[in-house]
Structure 1
Amino acid sequence: MTAVPTLIFDCDGVLADTEQDGHLRAFNETFAFYDLPARWSVVDYAEKVRIGGGKERLKSLLTPEFVVDAGLPRDIAGQTEIVAAWHRKKTEIYTSLVADGVMPPRPGIARIVHAASTAGWNLACASTSAEASVRAVLSHAVGADLAAQFSVFAGDVVPAKKPAPDIYLLAINELGVDADDVIVIEDSNNGLRAAVGAGLRTVVTVSTFTVDEDFSDASLVVSSLGDPSPGETTRVLNDPLRIGPGALVSLIDLSRILAAPRFKHETHVHYNRKVAS
């Protein structure tokens, strides 16, 4: 293992607040394109975001009643094929929305990525979203040059999605780094459980749909990473390690988290099952 500090970002809700103006809109436009009897409200989608993965959210539509009403195949193979087609269309719509600048990057993302790159940290992104969607958001959030420095683990690279730890276990294995040298930036309880389950320290930047979730296992919980004035500054929501970030979370703050003894919630968890690559 190489002792190089590593920063792994989730995508949706972390790099940009993508869910309501991006994914929800893309899902509903996909439903309209295929003339499906479904439209998700913001309230509906607040429940759907608890399901890891876009295909998995689409599969939640497939109740017996919906299958009949929409005239869909009743066999598993046929349903799998049609969900894959819906998801391809949804990804196409979503990446177009990203390109149109509908979803601005979250505060502090470009700043902290630039600082980490300059300091020689590894950079990665681990997300249940489709890889094309992740790369589009990443490039929009940090620029093409910094985005090119990222290793991306996304979509169906592992069979069990968050809150299973598989994608983070795959990431640290492929990056060749030790869990003690990694900090994850997440925004949801599902993501936090996945990261902590892989033995990784985690900073949570709450987002629109996750602000009320349980983040008691996080090393630090903040409103955002923050940017210098006149940008949005950081509000600390939970700081169990007493890192004490100021108006913004800095690379020094992240280094202090890595150097701090693990607090009671943080444990290394060993998994015997093989993680697909």
Structure 2
Amino acid sequence: MNRLAAVVFDVDGTLVDSERDGHRVAFNAAFEEAGLPDRWDIPTYGRLLRITGGARRLASWFGSVGRSPDEAERLAKRLHGRKTAIMRELIEAGKIEARPGVHRLLDQLDAGGVPMHVATTGTRAWVEPLLDRVFGPRFQVVVTGTDVPDLKPSPAAYLEVLRRTGCPADRSVAVEDSQNGVRAAVAAGLRVVAVHNDYTHDDDLSGAELIAAGFEDPPLSAWFQQRV
């Protein structure tokens, strides 16, 4: 139970409930603006979350519904840019909020002098505005899917955080919500605390040292209290 050298947070589904009522809404708005018939309901989007990265998710979807590979890639590139802009509008309108209990944990880590960082597959164009609006200057290093060539479950984002900060992996912990995220953090040598959300309650999070249903779970609070 060594004192933590750093805590590295995922964003989507972890710090914020942004998938169902954020990204999904933005994707559907982009489809509608483009005059496309595609729409992602809540269960469909949950299945698509197995594919990390919005552009990759779009390309996979377009291919699955019969578009050619070239058309799928072209549409994905065009739609993803507009979707990101719509996501920023949702953020600016205050539609994306921290999950219950997150601010209390961040306060606890702040009080203990534990550095906090971010490793996400999201693009910097919306990640930075969201972090600034919802959390302020909490995080020292933020690595996004814009900064690394490979997305989770690749460990690239976590390895880049470790490289930039010099934090020892064995004294750092990642906070994740999904199987892909847990796999990425474990592959980078970090311990993991996993926090389920509505979309990931059936994910295999067995690589995590602790699995909680939410940030207000007493075992999660106790785990961090012992290490701060």
What TM-score do the two structures reach when normalised by structure 2? 0.89
- 1:109 corresponds to: 102
CA shift in 2, pair 1:219/1:186, >3 Å:
same
Q: Does 1:127 find its partner at 2:110? A: no
Bigger helix fraction: 2
3-state DSSP class of the match of 1:85? helix
- 1:34 alignment partner in structure 2: 34
Deviation at 1:216, TM superposition (A): 1.3
Contact 1:109–1:141 under 8 Å retained in 2? no
Aligned-partner SS, 2:13: coil
Matching residue of 1:272: none
CA distance in 1 between partners of 2:158 and 2:194 (Å): 15
Question: Hey, what's the Cα distance between the residues in 1 that align with 2:194 and 2:215?
Answer: 9
The whole-number CA distance in structure 1 between the counterparts of 2:126 and 2:50 is 19
Give the number of equivalent residue pairs.
226
User: Residue 203 of structure 1 aligns to a residue in which SS?
Assistant: strand
Q: Which residue of 188, 196, 211 corresponds with 1:221?
A: 211
Q: Structure 1 unaligned segments of length 5 or more: list them.
A: 69-73, 227-233, 236-243, 257-277
Structure 2 unaligned residues grouped into runs of 5+:
none
Say whether residues 1:97 and 2:90 are aligned partners. Answer: yes
**Where do 1:1-277 residues align within 5 Å?**
5-63=5-63, 66-67=66-67, 75=70, 80=73, 82-142=75-135, 144-146=136-138, 149-226=139-216, 234=217, 244-245=219-220, 248-249=221-222, 251-253=224-226, 255=227
Match of 1:265 in 2: none
Aligned AA (2:156): D
Confirm or deny: 8 A CA contact 1:16 1:137 kept in the other structure. Answer: no
Task: Flag the structure with more relative contact order, 1 or 2, with Cα contacts below 8 A and sequence separation at least 6.
Answer: 2
CA contact (8 A) 2:60 2:72 kept: no
Q: Shift in Å at residue 115 of structure 1?
A: 2.4
Question: 1:58-99, CA deviations, whole angstroms, 9 ceiling, x for partnerless residues?
Answer: 11133286437xxxxx64xx7645433311211111121122
Distance 1:133 1:51 in 2: 19
2: CA distance between counterparts of 1:219 and 1:145?
A: 28
Cα shift readout 1:223-256 (whole Å, capped 9, x = no counterpart): 1122xxxxxxx16xxxxxxxx45xx456424x17
Kept in 1: contact 2:5–2:168 (CA 8 A):
no
User: Structure 1 CA distance, aligned partners of 2:17 and 2:194?
Assistant: 13
**What's the Cα RMSD here?**
2.2
